[in-house]
Structures are given as structure tokens and as C-alpha cells.
């Protein structure tokens, strides 16, 4: 245990008012029935047992101890700070329902649930994990629980271990599958509840009822701290352009939050690129123009933020990647042909369209190799391994050379590439995430105590002080839409992309031209766990703006 | 200003006891004359006016106000956290000597001194820079002040601005040149003092009299925080090997400190590689064996730390780089020939030796391209741009495939590369660096007030509480040795490499095998500026071990 962890272990997250007196022994209030009219037919027919569940909130009620429960918990998918506190809140909540309740942790994610690999999480074990980062108490995994055969194995594990309820701590897909599993268990009258918990540093599991997913606050603070340091460095050395790629594959929330925190000169937002159908060339020109204008003012330095998934949102790149995936899935040897291709006709001979061949050749050779040679076991291009930050540095450099030749640029350009991702997933959770996660876990226990299934634990009013947070249970089907997956329509929880008419983006869009040309850098520093609450307890600017708070 | 910076601006660094009553108005104590017997002749003949200066310390003495002084200050070289506090300490120290003293900041490093580009640093301007990271108050630069022609321009600038003394905040080379400039000014009776201040995140400007250079504490804490997060992530996901390259070109102090802080599984130390004359192949085998042994225990994950300059310490690579530098300086077109080379004879035809041709072909193609195509304006290989972390990932992967074929490895290896450097140079200084820098600046003012020149400001006893720190002035020539530079012998300040018989390395060496195989990860978290002093005020483990403190 580090010294920080030693001191953090004594941090006691607050609980909302509703849980303060009798813990999770509260009354369940069925709020207005969720409006299922807008839900697509496939959702209604897929979730006949759970689609009409109402949202629930809670009222103080010193209910008698619940019957004795045994609950299983898994992490599913990538790490996010605060996971251990979800487990701590769940544990404390369950104990407040009945001191004899037990919590079993399944090892390494869904696999542990399938193979019934679990151990009892005790107060003693938990002590050294409270308020720590990481998922290492029980581990995580990426196996998807989707098939009936898997569901039956999960049921068998639960029977073998006497489990009454499962808590799935995961992102949109994992919570979708938790909903499917809950429905399946109801249909076959298995008597096992399933409750979900919204986790993802990407921030794309949110909606009217879930204000934020846990881990987003901590990760965006870790990244913003580093970017703020780079801003100071750029301003001091005055000779580097730092291109920073930020984790967050499908949505640009992390990049947007970091932009709001640091006032970087350039921040690309994938959703805008997609909306405006910007080509790679247009993006390169946008960046190069800012570099050139700053150079004209004697400022040969700057900071550019790039969302990890950008390349997938550029129309011609999206098409190219889709074509490559189709092509290489069938004939993997074509990757070598493509790697060696020297002309566009070499490329079209493999079956790629002329448009995609042109898009392919617009990329620097090193990026082309990443596209065709680094593929996952299913033959898919590994988008997360494409060094988009280097791609942009190289393309901007080429564009600047053209501009120099035509007399529209005079300056020096030296690009430095960075990628921040893994280092933000397992930091010790910020005070916000430590508390939010604890409340989510506690709410999960409350939902289980109330006999509910197919619910996600949530809490609203998060911009207020913790005592006024409003814990909730949200029926999973109510969060779904229908998407095309592997050639089939599937009900899945709707992913929250950055809304271009939302308050955070509008705040950014109104300031970005000024941030591009003047240096309004802000260096928020690393996460502070102690000291004045103004420093240690504030959550993200994104959440503040979404909740109507006035920033600055 | 960020919220953190707002709160940090009120932090008041403590001063050692000696400065607490009368500020910089203290008496100078000439300590035992520095022992010049061991100094090489070239140093004695090069520094006839300053080589016999004694080390000095201070005694309380309410001396009258000094004559009115105007002092100039520059940053020289790369950023290091705390630079602004050196200026703050210098300012406050000068004002304590005489409230009419003035401090001029020269813009953008040595260039500002050459062109007399300066402005007066006032109390008001300083207010928003106290305890902040970065050098942006006055900027920095890498121009070397070496020639008599430059020295005369510096003198002219000083005359024009009425400057009595210059403070150079820089690394070993900048302080060397400060010493040369001081000697030159004495020889021509210019009446301008020169005082240096030990700055570098690399930590290689230290010796018997300078316990640590400023910036090292903050940078190694930023990096250790991130590495600690990766440790948690590796332990949670259990499927990645993170290879982390760390800034610190000539010495591995940063990597060693990060190893001591985080207990990473593998930490390569350049000085040991050089001492043992380890080949790239041997290093790759050392890493691969640990990967394989962990895999045999079901641990397909880990953390490896790699010093930035490693490749220069591997004998055959050092030779290859030296040959390439010589070759390409004369005939730059050979870089294209080398890039296109397919056989060793293609390579030897350029003039490289057979040994270097073999070393060249042992490298993956992408690294070969970085060696021959990325060169600085002098034609030199840009060692800092070589992705040594990727080189090792690729070579380890190849070695593991061979081991798999021979049945000595069974596992999965997925490497993730990271480079931490720029983000550690400009973080808000840790409490240690904020205080140490302030004391260094204050000591600089004291030396100037005492009429001294060719001195470096220092403070010893840094493992004690601040009141017991011992400020000192160290004559610059006493720190020198003679090195070969550009084909000529030159007296320069001796660079402090990691000592293989020093306490920090021995502590590491005694534990590394255990850290390699078991998971003793420690996650120190980001820098804490507030809260319990045990968290916020501790300095590096390296310094603690060097000062004989008991760790753990």
C-alpha cells in the first residue's frame, strides 16, 4: 500500500440523505411508469417481463431486515476508477439490509461467472481496497454474456453458490446483456435478480436518468492534469506542437472535457467531424491553418487534442476500414498485397473501391501498415492501435510544406505525439468517483433488497451536495434503442455521443477560436484528494454545464 | 489560473533557520578551502581566478542593507518544476538585502541575455507565478553561451541595463558555462558576478555538495503516479505488458526512482548495461525470460521501465550511432542508401563496419528508419526520438516466438508502449521542489549579496526538516572534470550517473528479482499538495537512501 492509499483508506464516502438513517432498508417508490410508447417493437417483444417496469426511487422506512441474501458481483470490460467502491457500497448496503447477507466476487469478469470461480468478499478483505483504483480485487474480463447456453451456465453457478442476485458493473453492452439475462431468468422463473451499474471512462453511458458513468471524472482529470502540464511546457519552450490522442473510442466526451479543462488550442470532436462529413483533408487543413496563423504571430507551439476513435468518424476512412474488414475477413493474405501496393490499381485489384484506394494512399506509409497488418483475431482493423496523432502530425507537416511553398506559411513545426488512456483507468478514484461509486453500489443493494431485477443503479442531482443526491433504479429496457449488430437488429442501450446542440459542446464551440489563437491555457494539475473541497470535490465541467451550472 | 493554482498561490515555502531572521543579510563563512589537488591541470589553468575559491556557508548577522543591486536571471535548457520559485526566492532574497534591489528577467534563455531582451520582475508580476510549474514567466532557450564574442555581448547587455550580477538557472552544461563566464568577467575585470542554480529533471547534476537538482522530485512523482496507475491496470486486466520509456537521457536516475516508487517488474538501468557491456540481445533475453517465467505462473502481464538513453549505453549501438553520425555528417545522402539497404553488404558499402552493419540489421525496420532518417541539423542521430520502448516490444516478441518454438515459453504477450517526459517537466512543483527552489533562489541572492561569483547555490541536509537545511555556495570549478567534447579536452561539471555501488541502486538490485516475479506493485498516485505532510512533503526515495534514511 502506498502512503496515499494508506491515507485514502480512511476516506468515508458520504451517503445521500435517504440512506443516512436506515441504510438500504428503505421503501421503494414506483415513479411514473416508464413511457414504452416510444420504444421500438423489438424492444417490447424482447423484454416482455421487464419492459413495463417503472423507474423507482426510495423513501426512508425502517423496514425489517431482509431475508438472508447472497449476491454475486462481476466487473465487465475495461477498468474505470471507483470500481472497488461500488463493491464497498454494495457490501455495506447489503449488510445494512441484513448483517448475514453475503457478497461473492466472481473472478476475471463474466468468465468467473460462467465457471463459478468466486470467493466471499469480507469486511477484512475490503479494507485494503476501499477508495483504491483498479479492478484487481476480483479482476475483469471482456467475455460477452449473450447466449442462452451461457445464461444457463450462469444460473448453474448461482445455484451452486446459493446466489439470489448478480450485480454487473459494466458499460453499455454489459448492462444491455445484464438486462437480457434478467429477462431470461424471469422467463424461466429462475429466481435470480440482475442489477447493473454504469461504468465507463468514455462517458458514453449516460442519459436523462444517468447523469454520468463512473470513472469518467477520474480519467478526464488525470488526462487534463497531464495536458495542462504540456500547455505550460509548450508555453515555456515555445517550440513544440503536442498532439495528444485521448482514450474514448466511440464518443469524444473525454476529449471535450479535457478541452474545457485545459483550453487546448485545438480539440477535434468526432461527432462534429461525422456530422459535417469532414474529410481527412479538411481536418488537416483546419489544423494546419491554425498552426500557420499562430506561426504568423510568432507562436510556433500549441496543443491539439484528438479523440481515439476519430478516424472511424471520417467518412472516407470509415468506408475504407469497413471494406478492409470485409476483405481481410475473407482473405487474410490480401493484407500483404495491400502492404506492398505501390499504385492505386495495385489496391483496387484486391477488391477495394477506387474511393477507398485513394483514401488508403492519402495515408502515410506507416499508418497504412498499421491498417492492414495490425488486425485482431477476427481479421478486423485494430482502430485503437492506429496512431491517429502521428497521422495528423505527418499530414499537417506535408500541408505546411505546401503552404510554405505557396507563401501562406512561415514558421517551424515540431510535433510531439502522446496517447493517454491506460494511465487514466486505474488511478485512485477522485472524491467524486469514490463517493458516486459507493452510492451506486449502495443503491444496487437497495434495488436487490427491494426484489427488483433488470434495473440499473443510478443517482441524480449530482451537482448538488451528496446529501441531496437522488438514488434511483432505472429499468434497463427503457434505455434501449435498436441497432444493427453483426447484420441483425438488436435492442441495446443507447450510446450517448457528444450532442452538438448540448451545453458542453456549445460552450466549447463559442470559445474555441479564441483558445486557438490566444493562449488561455489552464493547468488543473493532478487529482487532489485532500484540502479545500473546491479543489478536491469538484466534478467535471461537462456535468456542470449539462446540469445548468454557470462555469466561470 | 486553475483552481489548484489559485490555492497554491498562497503556499509560502519555509526558509532554513539561517535565513529566518534577517533574510539574505547573513554573514559569509568561508568553509575549508576546496581541495584543488585532485583537479586536473586544465581546470586549474582554465579557472585561475576562481579555482581556489572556498565553499561558503552562512551565519546569522544583521548586516546593513547592501548597496543597490540590479540582478539579471535566465533559464537555460529544458523545463523543470519549480523554476518560478527560484525566481521568487531570488526576488525575496534580493529585497531582503535592500528593498531597492531590482530583478530583471531575460526572455527565452541565453538569447535574451545576448540581445538584452529583458523586463523588470515586480512583486505584482511574481504573484501569479509563485508555486506554478513551467518557465513561462521569462521563457527558456538552448543557446549555449560559450564564446568570448558571446560573453562580450552579455557584458554589453549588462552594462546597458546596469546589471551587477547574473543568475543562470540551468543544468550541468549551463552551469559549466556560467563558471566560464564568471572567470572571463573576472579576468577582464568586468565587475559582473555570475551565480548558478542546479536544475534538471534528469537528476544528474548532483554530487557531494548538491544533494539533488530541482525538478527531479516533481517529475519522478508525476511519472511514478502514472506508472502506479498502469500497475493497477495491468493487475486488473491481466493481459498487457506496458513498456514505459522515461525521460532522462544520460543518466537513469528517473527510471531508478520510478522503480523504487512503483516496484515495476522490470527496470533497465543504462549505467548497469554499460558497466556489464550488455548487448541488445542480452537485454532482450533478460526481459523475455521474465515475461516467460511470469507466463508460466499464469501472469501474462507486467510493467517494464526503460530509460530514454538506453540505446546509447548498449556498446554495439553506441558504436553504430557514432559511426552513423560520422558518416552522415560527411555525406547525408547515405541515409537513403541505408534506409533502402537489404543486405549487410549494402550497409558496409556505405563505410559502416561489419559489426555495425550487423547491429543495424538486428533492429526492426521501423527503428532502422528512425536511426538513419530522423537526424538533427548537425546530421546527428536523434537518440531521443528512437522509440526504444517499441524496439524492445518487437525484439521481445521475436524472442518469445523463438522460445515458443523451442518449448520454453507458453503464453500471450501484448505490449503497450508509453513515453513519459514532457508531462513531467512543468507540473506544479511538489512541496519539496517549491520549497527547495525557493531556498536555492534565496541562497543565490545571498551569494550575490556577499559579492561572490562562479558559485552554485545549494542546500544540504535535505532529508531533515526545512529549518535545518544548510544553504551553501559551491565554487563551480570544484565540481569539474575534464571531458572530450568535439574532439577537444574541456573542463565541465561532472555528470552524476547512477552509481552501481550507491545505496539507491543496491536497494533496487536486492529486490528486483522479487519484484519481477511477484506483484509488489505500489501506486503512489499523483502529487498531493495538501493534507498530511507524510503524503505531501516527502521527497524522493533516492535522496532518502543516499542520506542514509531507512526506507520501509
The ipTM assigned to this model is: 0.96
Fold classification of A3-215+429-485 (topology level): Rossmann fold (3.40.50)
Interface contact B131, partner A, CB < 8 A: no
Of B7, B133, B366, which has the smallest distance from its Cβ to A532's Cβ? B7
Q: How many H helices and E strands in chain A? A: 23, 15
pLDDT tens sequence for chain A (552 residues) = 899 999 999 999 999 999 998 999 999 999 876 666 778 899 999 999 999 999 999 998 887 888 999 999 999 999 999 999 999 999 999 999 999 999 999 999 999 999 999 999 999 999 999 999 999 999 999 999 999 999 999 999 999 999 999 999 999 999 999 999 999 999 999 999 999 999 999 999 999 999 999 999 999 999 999 999 999 999 999 999 999 999 998 899 999 999 999 999 999 999 999 999 999 999 999 999 999 999 999 999 999 999 999 999 999 999 999 999 888 888 888 888 898 888 889 999 999 999 999 999 999 888 888 888 877 777 788 888 889 999 999 999 999 999 999 999 999 999 999 999 999 999 999 999 999 999 999 999 999 999 999 999 999 999 999 999 999 999 999 999 999 887 889 999 999 999 999 999 999 999 999 999 999 999 999 999 999 999 999 999 999 999 999 887
The residues of chain A that CATH labels 3.40.50.460 are: 218-423+502-546
Residue to substitute from A139, A426, A520, A527, interface B, most B β-carbons within 10 A: A426
Cα–chain center distance at A346:
39
Neighbours of B123 (CB within 10 A): 10
Of B135, B229, B535, which has the smallest distance from its Cβ to A236's Cβ? B135
Which residues of A are designated catalytic?
202
C-alpha to C-alpha distance for B21 and B7, rounded to whole angstroms: 27
For B172-238, the DSSP string reads HHHHHHHHHHHHHHHHTT---EEEEEEB-TT--S--SS----BTHHHHHHHHHHHHHHHHHHHHHH-
For B490, the grid coordinates are: 574541456
Neighbours of B198 (CB within 10 A): 31
Mean pLDDT of chain B: 95
Strands B241-246 and B415-420: parallel
- B304 forms beta bridges with B243, B266
Q: CB-based contacts of B150: which residues, under 8 Å, 6+ apart? A: B110, B114
For B182, the grid coordinates are: 564568471
C-alpha to C-alpha distance for A147 and B233, rounded to whole angstroms: 29
Q: Which helix (H) or strand (E) holds A541?
A: helix A541-546
Over B214-230, what HEC string results? Answer: ECHHHHHHHHHHHHHHH
Please choose, from the candidates A92, A36, A78, the residue with its C-alpha nearest in 3D space to the C-alpha of residue A444.
Answer: A92
Contacting B residues, span 305-364, partner chain A, CB-CB under 8 Å? none
Contacting A residues, span 230-269, partner chain B, CB-CB under 8 Å? 230, 232-233, 235-238, 240, 242
Q: What is the mean pLDDT of the segment spanning B253-269? A: 98
pLDDT of residue A376: 75
CATH of domain A218-423+502-546: 3.40.50.460
C-alpha to C-alpha distance for A179 and A492, rounded to whole angstroms: 9
Q: CB-based contacts of B322: which residues, under 8 Å, 6+ apart? A: none
* CB-count burial class (<10 Å; 0-12, 13-18, 19+) for B289: middle
Residue to substitute from A423, A527, A537, interface B, most B β-carbons within 10 A: A423
Please choose, from the candidates B551, B496, B538, the residue with its C-alpha nearest in 3D space to the C-alpha of residue B211.
Answer: B496
Residue to substitute from A201, A233, A376, A419, interface B, most B β-carbons within 10 A: A233
Contacting B residues, span 360-399, partner chain A, CB-CB under 8 Å? 366
Chain A residue nearest residue B137, CA to CA: A236
- A26 forms beta bridges with A60
Interface contact B1, partner A, CB < 8 A: yes
For B87, list phi and psi in degrees, rounded to 5.
Answer: -65, -40
C-alpha to C-alpha distance for B246 and B220, rounded to whole angstroms: 9
Q: Within 13 Å, how many C-alpha atoms sit on residue A448's CB side?
A: 38
- A243 forms beta bridges with A304, A417
- B96 forms beta bridges with none
- Determine whether the interchain pair A426/B232 forms a contact, defined as Cβ–Cβ distance below 8 Å: yes
- Determine whether the interchain pair B525/A236 forms a contact, defined as Cβ–Cβ distance below 8 Å: no
Q: What is the mean pLDDT of the segment spanning B368-386? A: 81
Q: Which residues in A lie closer than 8 A to residue B82 (C-beta atoms)?
A: none
Query: Is residue B51 predicted with pLDDT exceeding 90?
Result: yes
Query: Is residue B552 predicted with pLDDT exceeding 80?
Result: no
Chain A residue nearest residue B519, CA to CA: A136
DSSP A376: -
pLDDT of residue A235: 96
Buried b (16+ CB within 10 A) or exposed e, A162-197: ebbbbbbbbbbbbbbbbbbbbbbbbeeebebbbbbb
Q: Which of B92, B172, B202, B217 is catalytic?
A: B202
Q: Within 13 Å, how many C-alpha atoms sit on residue B480's CB side?
A: 36
Over A424-442, what HEC string results? Answer: HCCCCCCHHHHHHHHHHHH
Give the CA angle between residues A517, A520, A524 to the nearest 5°.
Answer: 145
Specify whether the CB–CB gap between B196 and B170 falls below 8 A. yes
Please choose, from the candidates A179, A71, A84, the residue with its C-alpha nearest in 3D space to the C-alpha of residue A134.
Answer: A84
Specify whether the CB–CB gap between B169 and B75 falls below 8 A. yes
Specify whether the CB–CB gap between B305 and B244 falls below 8 A. yes
- Determine whether the interchain pair B230/A422 forms a contact, defined as Cβ–Cβ distance below 8 Å: yes
Whats the size of chain A, residue-wise? 552
- Determine whether the interchain pair A1/B522 forms a contact, defined as Cβ–Cβ distance below 8 Å: yes
pLDDT of residue A534: 93
Instruction: Note the pLDDT tens digit of each residue in B59-114.
Output: 988 878 889 999 999 999 999 999 999 999 999 999 999 999 999 999 999 999 99
C-alpha to C-alpha distance for B352 and A90, rounded to whole angstroms: 66
Interface contact B33, partner A, CB < 8 A: no
Contacting B residues, span 415-444, partner chain A, CB-CB under 8 Å? 416, 418-419, 422-428
Chain A residue nearest residue B226, CA to CA: A423
pLDDT of residue B373: 80
C-alpha to C-alpha distance for A73 and A457, rounded to whole angstroms: 14
DSSP B439: H
Q: How far is B441 from chain A (nearest CA, A)?
A: 19
Chain B residue nearest residue A221, CA to CA: B526
C-alpha to C-alpha distance for A177 and A284, rounded to whole angstroms: 39
- Determine whether the interchain pair B4/A222 forms a contact, defined as Cβ–Cβ distance below 8 Å: no
Q: Which residues in B lie closer than 8 A to residue A528 (C-beta atoms)?
A: 4, 528-530
Chain B residue nearest residue A370, CA to CA: B366
Q: How far is A13 from chain B (nearest CA, A)?
A: 17
The residues of chain B that CATH labels 3.40.50.450 are: 3-215+429-485
Q: What is the mean pLDDT of the segment spanning B305-314? A: 95
Q: Where are the beta strands (DSSP E) in B375-453?
A: 415-420
Of B78, B133, B236, which has the smallest distance from its Cβ to A79's Cβ? B236
For B430, the grid coordinates are: 511538489
For B230, list phi and psi in degrees, rounded to 5.
Answer: -65, -35
Specify whether the CB–CB gap between B209 and A403 falls below 8 A. no
Chain A residue nearest residue B2, CA to CA: A524
Of B225, B236, B528, which has the smallest distance from its Cβ to A139's Cβ? B236
Confidence of residue B33 (pLDDT cuts 50, 70, 90): low
Cα–chain center distance at A305:
17
Of A226, A238, A528, which has the smallest distance from its Cβ to B530's Cβ? A528
Contacting A residues, span 493-522, partner chain B, CB-CB under 8 Å? 522
Instruction: Note the pLDDT tens digit of each residue in B484-538.
Output: 887 889 999 999 999 999 999 999 999 999 999 999 999 999 999 999 999 999 9
Q: Using DSSP, state whether B87 is helix, strand or coil.
A: helix
For B277-309, the DSSP string reads T--HHHHHHHHHHHHHHHHHTT---EEEEEETT
Calculate the alpha carbon distances from B488 to A319, A485, B42, B485, B492 in Å: 60, 69, 12, 5, 12
Orientation of helix A148-161 relative to helix A172-187, angle to 10°: 70
Q: Where are the beta strands (DSSP E) in A156-300?
A: 165-170, 193-198, 241-246, 266-267
Establish, for the pair of chains A and B, how many residue pairs have beta carbons separated by less than 8 Å.
Answer: 190
Residue to substitute from A368, A415, A523, A533, interface B, most B β-carbons within 10 A: A523
The phi-psi region of residue B407 (left if phi > 0; otherwise alpha if psi is between -120 and 50; otherwise beta) is: left
C-alpha to C-alpha distance for A294 and A241, rounded to whole angstroms: 11
Say whether B233 is catalytic: no
Strands A241-246 and A415-420: parallel
Confidence of residue B34 (pLDDT cuts 50, 70, 90): low
Amino acid at each position: 500500500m502506498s502512503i496515499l492509499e494508506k491515507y485514502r483508506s480512511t476516506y468515508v464516502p458520504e451517503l445521500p440523505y435517504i440512506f443516512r438513517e436506515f441504510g438500504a432498508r428503505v421503501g421503494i417508490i414506483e415513479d411514473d411508469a416508464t413511457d414504452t410508447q416510444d420504444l421500438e417493437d423489438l424492444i417490447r417483444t424482447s423484454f416482455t417481463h421487464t419492459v413495463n417496469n417503472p423507474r423507482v426511487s426510495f423513501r426512508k422506512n425502517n423496514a425489517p431486515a431482509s431475508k438472508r441474501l447472497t449476491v454475486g458481483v462481476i466487473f465487465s470490460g475495461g477498468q474505470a476508477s471507483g470500481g472497488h467502491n461500488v463493491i464497498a457500497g454494495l457490501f455495506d448496503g447489503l449488510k445494512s439490509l441484513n448483517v448475514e447477507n453475503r457478497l461473492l466476487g466472481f473472478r476475471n469478469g463474466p468468465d468467473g461467472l460462467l465457471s463459478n470461480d468466486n470467493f466471499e468478499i469480507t469486511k477484512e478483505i475490503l479494507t485494503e481496497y476501499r477508495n483504491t483504483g483498479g479492478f484487481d480485487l476480483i479482476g475483469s474480463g471482456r467475455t460477452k454474456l449473450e447466449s442462452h447456453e451461457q445464461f444457463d451456465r450462469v444460473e448453474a453457478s448461482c445455484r451452486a453458490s446459493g446466489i439470489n442476485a448478480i450485480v454487473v458493473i459494466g458499460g453499455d453492452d454489459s448492462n444491455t446483456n445484464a438486462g437480457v439475462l434478467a429477462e431470461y431468468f424471469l422467463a424461466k422463473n429462475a429466481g435470480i435478480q440482475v442489477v447493473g451499474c454504469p461504468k465507463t471512462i468514455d462517458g458514453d453511458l449516460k442519459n436523462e436518468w444517468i447523469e454520468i458513468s463512473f470513472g469518467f471524472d477520474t480519467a478526464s482529470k488525470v488526462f487534463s492534469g497531464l495536458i495542462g502540464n504540456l500547455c505550460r511546457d509548450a508555453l515555456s519552450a515555445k517550440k513544440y506542437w503536442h498532439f495528444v490522442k485521448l482514450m474514448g473510442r466511440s464518443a469524444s466526451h473525454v476529449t471535450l472535457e479535457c478541452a474545457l479543462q485545459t483550453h487546448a488550442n485545438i480539440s477535434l470532436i468526432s461527432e462534429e467531424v461525422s456530422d459535417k462529413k469532414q474529410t481527412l483533408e479538411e481536418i488537416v487543413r483546419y489544423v494546419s491553418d491554425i498552426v500557420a496563423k499562430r506561426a504568423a504571430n510568432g507562436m510556433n507551439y500549441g496543443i491539439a487534442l484528438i479523440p481515439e476513435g476519430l478516424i472511424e468518424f471520417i467518412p472516407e476512412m470509415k468506408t475504407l476500414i469497413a471494406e478492409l474488414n470485409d476483405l481481410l475477413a475473407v482473405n487474410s493474405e490480401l493484407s500483404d498485397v495491400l502492404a506492398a501496393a505501390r499504385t492505386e490499381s495495385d489496391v483496387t485489384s484486391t477488391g477495394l473501391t477506387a474511393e477507398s484506394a485513394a483514401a488508403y494512399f492519402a495515408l502515410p506509409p506507416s499508418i497504412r501498415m498499421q491498417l492492414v497488418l495490425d488486425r485482431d483475431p477476427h481479421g478486423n482493423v485494430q482502430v485503437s492501435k492506429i496512431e491517429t496523432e502521428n497521422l495528423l502530425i505527418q499530414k499537417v507537416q506535408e500541408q505546411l510544406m505546401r503552404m510554405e511553398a505557396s507563401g501562406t506559411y512561415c514558421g517551424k513545426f515540431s510535433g510531439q505525439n502522446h496517447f493517454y488512456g491506460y494511465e487514466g483507468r486505474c488511478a485512485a478514484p477522485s472524491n467524486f468517483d469514490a463517493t458516486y461509486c459507493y452510492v451506486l453500489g449502495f443503491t444496487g443493494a437497495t434495488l436487490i433488497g427491494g426484489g427488483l431485477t433488470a434495473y440499473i443503479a443510478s443517482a441524480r442531482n449530482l451537482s448538488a451536495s451528496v446529501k441531496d443526491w437522488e438514488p434511483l433504479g432505472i429499468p434497463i429496457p427503457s434505455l434501449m434503442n435498436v441497432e444493427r449488430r453483426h447484420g441483425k437488429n438488436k435492442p441495446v442501450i443507447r450510446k450517448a455521443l457528444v450532442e452538438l446542440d448540448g451545453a458542453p459542446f456549445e460552450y466549447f464551440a463559442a470559445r474555441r477560436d479564441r483558445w486557438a489563437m490566444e493562449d488561455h491555457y489552464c493547468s488543473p494539475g493532478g487529482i487532489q484528494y485532500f484540502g479545500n473541497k473546491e479543489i478536491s470535490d469538484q466534478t467535471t465541467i461537462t456535468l456542470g454545464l449539462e446540469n445548468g451550472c454557470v462555469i466561470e
